[in-house]
């Protein structure tokens, strides 16, 4: 694997931003910026060997700071929502920024997705580190995070997350990549998806999980591969309506490991685009997977002057459950001093 670096552009204050590219001699390549440790592009072949970018994103660093879609970014300290922008930990209530009133979303308006990470190369990986000080966006404890990207010649992109804290803090990290396997500006209605989940969290009007529901006999049943289009076009399902006309729900992934232990890295999702033959396999160590069909993407400026449309991509965000810090099993998402947070998620792009 080859890793190269370049000056990508500047922020409004003149701060330079880097672009790092992981590539192979067969033409496969992935680019990552140190701004938000975000995935910027991923060129993958179709069944005829033609390479195309399967990630949505922006053309300039400035667009990542002003955009609202969290394109390809590492989001934290808390991925997804915390209800009421508050939580209690060890008897102390902590108030967060309600950047999506009344909730906190993706760690706040100045979360990890908006910060410049420190990048370094190893022989086999791109490593990005960030120190989040105590009180950062309302979260306790000084947190050190390391995200490692590796990319194989077979098209396997592995993201490994490690973190340590000096005081107890909630932690739920994920990557917010937007995938469209067609490689062109289109919707994902013709994509087919399979999810290894028998249950999902129903949501309220603020997209906060309420009850755990079975997927059977609902538009959320992807235990067998099914096209996305008919599900997001459902008109008579309250949950589809509450999500903004699509899916924005957390699935509880099957695992044989005890909740108190780190689950095994296992296949949890498969996405297939019949037109190009591209397939994306997702494997993770995590219990939750937010499946988002880009219901609020309409009008977002994208690459090469394109304006994205509703349902223009899909996100598969592995991590804990939204608002889990306020659930009965909150302790599972609290990082304590002298403990190590570790998550591994792998996206594998191939052709069938």
The model's pLDDT over 156-172, given as tens digits with 9 standing for 90+, comes to: 999 999 999 999 999 99
Beta strands 81-82; 74-75: pairing state: unpaired
Q: Tally Cβ neighbours within 10 Å of residue 345.
A: 24
- pTM metric for this prediction: 0.96
- Counted residue by residue, the chain has a size of 352
Give me the mean pLDDT over the 144-157 stretch: 98
The arithmetic mean of pLDDT across residues 109-135, rounded, is 97
CATH of the domain at 336: 2.70.98.10
pLDDT value for 237? 97
Mean pLDDT (the chain) is 96
Average pLDDT over residues 325-351: 97
**Angle, vertex CA 110, rays to CA 105 and CA 116, nearest 5:** 125
What is the pLDDT at residue 257?
Answer: 67
* CA dist., res. 141 & res. 341, Å (int): 14
Please identify which of the residues 18, 279, 286, 317 carries the catalytic annotation: 317
Q: For residues 272 and 281, what is the distance between their CA atoms, to the nearest angstrom? A: 9
How far is it, in rounded angstroms, from Cα 233 to Cα 305? 27
Please give the share of the chain, as a percent, with pLDDT higher than 90: 95
Model pLDDT, residue 263:
65
The active-site residue out of 20, 58, 114, 176 is 176
> What Å distances lie between residue 167 and 82, 98, 331, 339, CA to CA?
20, 23, 14, 10
What is the per-residue pLDDT across 232-275, written as a single tens digit (0 to 9) for each? 999 899 999 999 999 999 999 998 766 556 568 999 999 999 99
The H-assigned helical ranges of 198-311 are 229-232, 238-242
Residues 6+ apart with CB under 8 A from 209: 201, 202, 203, 250, 321, 322, 323, 327
The token pair at 68 is: 């609202």
Distance CA 335, CA 318 (A): 17
Provide CB contacts within 8 A for 241, sequence distance 6+. Answer: none
Active-site annotation holds for 176: yes
Query: Looking at the 3D structure of the chain, how many domains does it have?
Result: 1
Domain of residue 342 covers 2-351
pLDDT at position 255 is: 84
Banded pLDDT at 134 (limits 50, 70, 90): very high
Q: Residue 42 contacts by C-beta under 8 Å, 6 or more apart in sequence?
A: 29, 30, 31, 53, 54, 55, 157, 349
- Number of CB atoms found within 10 A of residue 343's CB: 23
Confidence class for position 137, pLDDT limits 50, 70, 90: very high
The mean pLDDT of 288-296, rounded to a whole number, is: 98
């Amino acid at each position: 694997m080859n890793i190269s670096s370049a000056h990508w552009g500047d922020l409004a204050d003149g701060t330079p931003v880097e672009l790092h590219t992981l590539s192979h001699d067969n033409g496969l390549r992935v680019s990552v910026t140190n701004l938000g440790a975000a995935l910027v592009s991923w060129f993958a072949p179709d069944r005829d060997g033609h390479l195309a970018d399967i990630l949505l994103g922006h053309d300039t660093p400035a667009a990542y700071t002003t955009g609202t879609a969290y394109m390809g970014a590492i989001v934290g300290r808390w991925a997804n929502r915390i209800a009421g922008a508050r939580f209690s930990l060890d008897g102390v209530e902590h108030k967060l920024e309600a950047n999506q009133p009344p909730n906190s979303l993706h760690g706040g308006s100045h979360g990890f997705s908006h910060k410049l990470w420190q990048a370094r190369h190893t022989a086999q990986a791109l490593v990005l580190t960030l120190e989040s000080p105590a009180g950062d966006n309302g979260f306790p404890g000084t947190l050190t995070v390391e995200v490692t990207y590796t990319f194989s010649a077979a098209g396997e992109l592995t993201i490994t997350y490690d973190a340590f804290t000096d005081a107890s803090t909630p932690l739920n990290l994920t990557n917010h990549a937007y995938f469209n396997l067609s490689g062109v500006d289109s919707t994902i209605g013709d994509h087919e998806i399979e999810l290894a989940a028998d249950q999902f969290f129903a949501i309220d009007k603020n997209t906060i999980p309420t009850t755990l529901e079975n997927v059977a006999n609902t538009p959320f049943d992807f235990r067998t591969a099914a096209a996305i289009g008919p599900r997001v076009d459902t008109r008579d399902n309250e949950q589809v309506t509450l999500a903004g006309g699509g899916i924005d729900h957390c699935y509880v992934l099957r695992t044989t490991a005890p909740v108190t232990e780190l689950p095994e890295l296992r296949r949890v999702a498969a996405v297939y685009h019949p037109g190009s033959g591209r397939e994306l396999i997702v494997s993770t160590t995590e219990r939750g997977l937010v499946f988002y069909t880009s219901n609020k993407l309409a009008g977002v400026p994208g690459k090469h002057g394109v304006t994205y449309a509703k349902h223009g991509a899909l996100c598969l965000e592995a991590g804990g459950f939204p608002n889990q810090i306020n659930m009965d099993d909150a302790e599972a998402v609290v990082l304590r001093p002298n403990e190590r947070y570790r998550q591994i998620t792998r996206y594998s792009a191939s052709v069938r």
